[in-house]
Structure 1
Amino acid sequence: MLKDYVKLHVFVLLFGFTGILGKLISVDSLTLVLYRTLFAALGLYVILYFRKVKIQLSFRDFAVLFGTGLVLGLHWLCFFGSGKLSTVSVSLVTFSTTSFFTGILEPVLFRKKIVLYEIVLGIIVVIGVSIMFSFEIRYLSGILVGLLGAFLAAVFSIVNSRLTHRFDSQVISLVELSAAMFFMAVIFLFAGDFNSLKLSQNDLFWLLILSWVCTVIPHSQMISLMRRISVFTANLSLNLEPVYGVILAYFIFGESEKMSFEFYLGGILVLLTVMLHPILKRRFT
């Protein structure tokens, strides 16, 4: 179990770097997500080809995976959109409310017993985020888009936690990423700027890092980990993503990522929930 938690935090660190890459890549959010899903899906296809894995899914299973992929695509669009509308720190920290949405949605969707301490921890996360942004109102649009992205991430994680016991994690990732790519392509046909498809060498390099190192590896392995850890534990640990990301963003981008004292105070509250969760879990289970 300790090995799984170490893996989890390595993947969280990689996810934390995605916000940095989103700012380093100059294209708009829609083009970014389109290329990310395209490159990631191609990378997974190559891996499955060499693993000689046959993808055999019923129409119903394919439809569920495809629909989940659409949610994933929308989540990424909101995540990067939040960063473009505000700052990397805003997009990362609003994402940390995913655990709050998970604690509410999972019992509702699957008639799971409500765990009181999970709801309390989720509320603490919301309080922390509220403190952070009560003094950063100039980023309201970025905050709202980021919160929508967190809600979608909760839905995506909950559904995936049910799928991971039935399918190979990389097969799940391939179908979902392909669905997200298809959805982004459809949106792009109607709302995209075709001039943005031309990438600079710098953008191409960072997109490949984003797609393969920060998507293919952690995304498929996170799905695999959900066979052994709960979706709430995974999402609560992901609250550390903004902590890692904000620190990285400050050192890479400097003063443009410097936030108010209250922002960091709220961040400490979010961090405390991650530390409290395993203690409370041992005490009450």
Structure 2
Amino acid sequence: MLQLFLKLHFAVLLAGFTGVFGRLISYDAFILVFIRFSIAATFIYFILKAMHKLKKFPVRHKIHGIITGAILATHLVLFYLSIKLSNISIGTVTLATTGFFTAVLEPLIIKTRFDKSNFVYTLLSVLGLFLIFNFDTKFRIGIAVGLVSSLFSSLFAVFNKKFSYKKDPYTFVNYQMFGGFVFMLICAVPYLVLNDEPIEFRKLDIFYLVLLATVFTVLLYLLVVQLSEKLSAFTISLTFNLEPVYAILIAMILFNENKELNFSFYLGVSLMLICVFLQNRKIKKHISDR
């Protein structure tokens, strides 16, 4: 169980770096995610094929993987759009509300028992978000988009739990990446119709995208799918509230974003971190009981 706990926090550490790519890569949110899934879907297929990890799946299970991949792609487009409309700190900290959405959706979709302590944690996160909403008005559109992104992040976590239980996680994440790619490919048609600006391929952007698609996508989501078989979607989502901590620290170092943040923002983040601390204590107690 301790190994599972360490895997969870390593996954959160990887996730903490993903928001930074939204600032480093110059492409808009759609193109960024489209190329990310194109590389990730290709990479995961050939790697798992070479390792003989891919297994035959019933059509129903393949569809489940493709559906969750489409949900993931939607979340990521909105996530990077939130970052580009505001900054890394705002875009990532709104993901803390994933715990709130998951606490409501998990009992409804998976029919799990409603946990009162989880509800208390979500109230702390929501209170923290209200404080952040008092932040500079120019970032409120970014915050609003981030909230919708958080809803899709929660749906991804819940359906991961519902669909991937007792299935081979390697094959499942392969179909997730494929599903995300197909979804983005379908969306590319209206995108190209509405956006007539030419797409320039820059070497540095491609380098960042390859890194993002391999280490920070394939490896990250392999871990998340594996963890979803052992832990509740709420536990995973709430522990991922640590993601903004890493992202904010990196943004401060690389982009001096601390100059854009005020006391209300830090107070809101502090409340969200208290929520994470309480949940981590709950996880550790569960580990010791075993």
Quote the Cα distance in structure 2 between the aligned partners of 1:208 and 1:194: 25
Structure 1 pair 87–54 and aligned structure 2 pair: CA distance change class (3 A): closer
Answer yes or no: is 1:218 the counterpart of 2:220. yes
Structure 1 runs (4+) deviating above 6 angstroms are none
Which digits, 9 at most, give the CA deviation of each residue in 1:160-215, with x for residues without a partner?
A: 11233232212111111111111112212221357654421100110011111111
Answer yes or no: is 1:115 the counterpart of 2:115. yes
Which digits, 9 at most, give the CA deviation of each residue in 1:29-86, with x for residues without a partner?
A: 1000001111111111112111223442222222222111111110001100101111
Quote how far apart the aligned CAs of 1:280 are: 4.3
SS in 1 for 2:79: helix
Quote the Cα distance in structure 1 between the aligned partners of 2:107 and 2:198: 42
**1:229 maps to amino acid:** L
Q: Report percent identity of matched pairs.
A: 32
Quote the Cα distance in structure 1 between the aligned partners of 2:257 and 2:127: 26
Name stretches of at least 5 consecutive residues in structure 2 with no aligned partner: none
Show the counterpart of 2:203: 201
SS in 1 for 2:256: helix
Show the counterpart of 1:127: 127
**2:217 maps to amino acid:** T
Quote the Cα distance in structure 2 between the aligned partners of 1:205 and 1:83: 20
Give the superposed CA RMSD. Answer: 1.8
**2:209 maps to amino acid:** L
Show the counterpart of 2:174: 174
Show the counterpart of 1:247: 249
**2:172 maps to amino acid:** I
Show the counterpart of 2:157: 157
Contact 1:16–1:241 under 8 Å retained in 2: yes
Quote the Cα distance in structure 2 between the aligned partners of 1:173 and 1:257: 39
Contact 1:100–1:125 under 8 Å retained in 2: yes
TM-score normalised by L of structure 2: 0.92
Show the counterpart of 2:263: 261
Quote how far apart the aligned CAs of 1:277 are: 1.3
Between 1:119-128 and 1:183-192, the stretch displaced more is 183-192
**1:249 maps to amino acid:** A
Contact 2:14–2:220 under 8 Å retained in 1: yes
Quote the Cα distance in structure 1 between the aligned partners of 2:169 and 2:196: 33
Between 1:190-199 and 1:127-136, the stretch displaced more is 190-199
TM-score normalised by L of structure 1: 0.94
